[in-house]
Chains A and B, each alone.
Chain A
Amino acid sequence: MWNWFHKLASPPHFYRIAALLEPWLLWPALGLLLLGAYGGLVLAPPDYLQGEGFRIIYVHVPSAFLSMFAYVLMAAASAIGLIWRMKLAYCVAAATAPIGAVFTFLALATGAIWGQPMWGTWWAWDPRLTSELILFFLFLGYIFLREALRDRSQADRASAILAIVGVVNIPIIHYSVEWWTSIHQGPSIAKMDTPSIAGDMLWPLLVMIGAYQLLFFAILLTGVRAQVLEREKNARWVNDLLVKGVTGESVG
């Protein structure tokens, strides 16, 4: 197990594996997106209270779920980078931030689009919405901090600390609807034993969540490959890969 983990952490090995895996994640993700969208837009019955407007959940919930997942992954990779000084972990964290920012923006934007017809307002300073907005600023802060620091190891460490400190916001987002009075509805699918959503409506949502996850990992692998190339630009294996077209296994 540790041997496999060590081998995967080798930049040339990871680069090769990521290049192989990426299409196997991207194409199934697009297929599942189409299936989930068809299920959510066509097959799922309208909600008894929100009517056809409820269908926004099929893009809102997967984005919101992914925004939190991406942040936890970024913080975990940052911690691994800080503790074990693993360059690949910093690459993963750095590549996660822009993707996380995009999906957090999508969660906020689709939430606002849902809020207008359901609550009568695009935005409210509600605990759930505000903590999700803070998450968006944390992703932006991480990106800008990395850009601002010219020294790479300093940028790695400083941004890692920001990511780890910011992870405290994740349970706040998740439990905000239980801890405080909120206009945002409570969990619907998190309580899997008794989900408060009908099966006809649930399966397209689960398909969309799965599709977004696969899509996230496909985009992440592309981003990590770019990070690895940039960091390893002086390594022999990069020379072999780009000049001779050889995917070397040994670190130069």
Chain B
Amino acid sequence: MMEFLAMDGYAKYVWGAFGISAILIVATVWLSKRNLAATRQRVLRRIQAMEGKQ
């Protein structure tokens, strides 16, 4: 197991590349979902404000 993790001396490069990819992919998926939810809330509040005025 330790041999696998050590990657024959390339551990920091291999795990660094996979780590930054995993972090950015998860963040991009999460941010896109959060952006959609925020847009829905913003548009909904706008509709409710317009209906309140009427």
Contact = CB atoms under 8 A, between A and B. Distances in A.
A42 B39 contact: no
Tell me which of B9, B20, B28, B35 has the highest count of chain A C-beta atoms within 10 A of its own C-beta.
B28
Interface in A36-52: 37, 41-42, 46, 51-52
A243 B43 CA distance: 10
Interface string A56-79: 101110010000000000000000
B36 A225 contact: yes
Nearest to A112: B17
Interface string A82-105: 000000000000000001001001
Contacts of B46: 233
Given A113-B16, A226-B36, A233 B8 contact: no
Interface residues of A, number: 39
Tell me which of B9, B25, B33, B35 has the highest count of chain A C-beta atoms within 10 A of its own C-beta.
B25
Nearest to B31: A98
Given A46-B8, A106-B24, A223-B32, A114 B43 contact: no
A140 to B, nearest CB: 15
Dominant SS among interface residues on chain A: helix
B13 A114 contact: yes
A110 interface: yes
A229 B35 CA distance: 11
Nearest to A113: B17
Contacts of B21: 59, 63, 106, 110
B10 to A, nearest CB: 4
Contact of B14 (A26, A56, A215): A56
Interface of A: 26, 33, 37, 41-42, 46, 51-53, 55-56, 58-60, 63, 99, 102, 105-106, 109-110, 113-114, 116-117, 215, 218-219, 222-223, 225-226, 229-230, 233, 238-239, 242-243
Interface of B: 4, 7-10, 13-14, 16-18, 20-21, 24-25, 28-29, 32-33, 35-36, 39-40, 43-44, 46-48, 51
Given A117-B13, A222-B33, A223-B32, 17 more contacts: A42-B4, A46-B8, A51-B8, A51-B9, A53-B10, A53-B14, A55-B7, A109-B17, A113-B17, A222-B35, A222-B36, A226-B36, A229-B43, A230-B43, A238-B43, A239-B47, A243-B51
